[in-house]
Chains A and B, each alone.
Chain A
Amino acid sequence: MKYIDEFRKREPFNALLSKIKSLPLQTISLMEVCGTHTVSISKSGIRSLLPPNIRLISGPGCPVCVTSLEDVDRVIMLAAEGKTHSTYIIATFGDMMRVPGSHSSLLKEKAKGADIRVVYSPVDALTLARENSDKEVIFFAVGFETTSPTFAATILQAKREGVDNFSIISNNKLIPPAMEALLNDENITIDGFICPGHVSAIIGTTPYQKIANHYHKGCVISGFEPLDIIFSIYLLMHQKSSGTAKVEIEYSRVVRQEGNPKALKTLNQVYELSDAQWRGLGIIPKSGLVLKDEFALYDAAKKFDLPKPEVSEPKGCRCDQVLKGMISPKECPLFATHCTPAEPVGACMVSSEGTCAAYYKYER
């Protein structure tokens, strides 16, 4: 398979590994921000091949995992209300279904009779709205810069077509502000970032410049195959040993310096910045996206009186520290005992891109 096989070959991988080992020995903590990277590292067994001085820590780049418990509870309550009123349909991505809220989950509410539909894209949710004109379709929107432009495009399409029974609960978030928040936390040591390839395909290199220039941490935008990742690790180590910090693109077959101007234009047309609550990281200024006033018709928060849940965090769950890279999943006492993919306690065990799920599946 072209563009995949070349990046899974053992010989070039081993060559890069030797180059890494030949660099001056230094202890280094690199954060892979994106959940897809976490899965790829676990799945290809990269951690088992790295020398012990290189520590890979997983970041907050799984949109399901960083959705705050309050936001999860809100949608669960809304779904439960919908069951009695049957006036709306909740649409969501599949992974969101099993995320435990304070008292229930969307999956449990669906079993009790709430109308909740799993969709693969926002466009499918809009189709659902067209097909059910007597009901409001409310999309539980989660996602980073990669997904948000498709939400924006869907809102624009709904407006063009005059579909008025479609709205979203926006939990869309931005990655670079979260990276900055982690660097501002003095309890966390990060020497460089393996930056998310697909987020960067949209935003380009500019948003990372501050991290390189102001915080002096290397940023390498990486692809997702084993060779991409090992090469990115090499580039970051090379930066550190030569005393530089810059933004580099390893994933040059996909990512351009300027990103994707068309997607960014669509995004900015529909969304504006807001502060956002992240699970584990708290409120991060200007890290969220909300719909501009002119799209209020599609903003469930403005259209309806959304429930205000009282949150109770699950006892013993250390998702917050996992999401900040402060502990590895194996250091959580619930990991693989009380918290498993079949019976998850925290969101990190639910999502297919969750750090705990990846460790459970590939590295236990």
Chain B
Amino acid sequence: MEERILLAHGNGGILTSQLIENCFLPYFQDPLLKQLNDQAIFELEVHRIAFTTDSFVVDPLFFPGGDIGKLAVCGTVNDLAVGGATPLYLSIGFIIEENFPIEELKKISSSISIAAKEAQVRIVTADTKVVEKGACDKLFINTSGIGLVKKEVDFSGHNAREDDKILLSGDIGDHGIAILSSRKGIEFETSIKSDCAPLNLLVNDLLPSAHYIHVMRDLTRGGLATILNEIAMQSEIGITIYEDRIPLKEEVRGMCELLGLDPLYLANEGKLVAFVHPDGAEEVLSLMKKNPLGGNARIIGEVMRKPSEKVTMETHVGGSRLIEMLVGEDLPRIC
């Protein structure tokens, strides 16, 4: 019979030890974690430290191009990376619904391990809880991470300035469409895979030009539209983007047309925007394009002084329209 998670797997006793031994330790090979202390102790060459946390409740757990495990690593790594930090250490916490298949847990642990290797981060501390059936949906994961930030790096949503060029690292909407295509009740066939990827190596490639970069954000829930609105408000500036410069796969466009979605609001898990001083825009763009994760990078717009705190788009036919923050319901549990 298929092995399932029992409530007793979370009681701290013998079953918990077995779970850790079978489902986690084989995949998380870190020497600090293996000590199984209540905390990981390490030394840092201190510059400045970036610290972040994120929780993952994506439905379904497995989707084209990834799963909740990969997402949990990339999400936190990316939040650190877009602050210009080099991510180093991650914690991971599992909240598991009783009766969850142990095989699936192993699969997810394995993909966590692969993603951590790819991102060159160490998972140094972890925790597991099991809750009764119905108290959570299958599996939730929380990850926290710390990274180091060099002195000369200063990326912040408040730093956008007039005339900055806005760089986008690649095609938008892949994650949203991949999740949608595998959601129960709306399943459709598509070759689109989630863009879920750790962005820290791409960001690292851009750091030689960090002095030109004012703002960097990864695109997640709410999509490009929402992130640009957040930056416009934080920096009290206006933003203009150009519809015909926004990179988008034909298939994603097609699905959006069919389903009545706006790709500007679709979720992404491996894309970033950078607001760059006009003198450095081409340089940063060419660095971006050299990394496979930025191969389709473009300059999609620029910062204006007015209208302040608004995002507008020049449409294909040359008209102008407002780009609002996400209005109404997004697809829930996208990450």
Contacts and interface: CB of A to CB of B under 8 A. Distances in A.
A44 B322 contact: no
Contacts of B328: 341-342
B316 interface: yes
Contacts of B254: 1
Among B257, B316, B320, B327, find the residue whose CB has the most chain A CB atoms closer than 10 A.
B316
A44 B315 contact: yes
Contacts of A45: 314-315, 317-321
Contacts of B314: 45
Nearest to B324: A361
A65 B320 CA distance: 26
A226 interface: yes
Interface stretch (A4-12, A150-158, A249-257): A4-12
Contacts of B318: 10, 13-14, 45, 49
B321 A363 contact: yes
Contacts of A357: 327
Contacts of B322: 361-364
A357 B324 CA distance: 11
A362 B313 CA distance: 10
Contacts of B250: 1
Interface string A336-359: 000001100000000010000100
Interface string B236-258: 00000000000000100110010
A42 interface: yes
How big is chain B's contact interface, by range?
A: 10 to 19
Contacts of A227: 317
Nearest to A36: B260
Contacts of A13: 317-318
Nearest to B314: A45
A180 B321 CA distance: 32
Given A361-B327, A362-B321, A44 B253 contact: no
A327 interface: no
Query: Which of B254, B257, B321, B328 has the most CB atoms of chain A within a 10 A radius of its CB?
Result: B321
Interface string B180-215: 000000000000000000000000000000000000
B309 to A, nearest CB: 12
A253 to B, nearest CB: 15
Interface in A8-57: 8-10, 13-14, 42-49
Interface in B292-334: 314-322, 324, 327-328
Interface string A207-246: 0000000000000000000110010000000000000000
A295 interface: no
Contact of B257 (A1, A10, A342): A1
Contacts of B253: 1
B15 to A, nearest CB: 38
24 contacts: A1-B250, A1-B254, A8-B316, A9-B317, A10-B316, A10-B318, A13-B318, A14-B318, A44-B315, A44-B316, A44-B321, A45-B314, A45-B315, A45-B320, A49-B317, A49-B318, A49-B319, A230-B317, A341-B327, A341-B328, A342-B328, A357-B327, A360-B324, A361-B324
Given A45-B318, A49-B318, 7 more contacts: A14-B318, A43-B315, A47-B319, A48-B321, A49-B319, A342-B327, A362-B324
Top 9 A-B residue pairs of the complex, sorted by shortest distance between their CB atoms: A45-B319, A8-B316, A13-B317, A45-B321, A362-B321, A341-B327, A226-B317, A45-B315, A45-B320
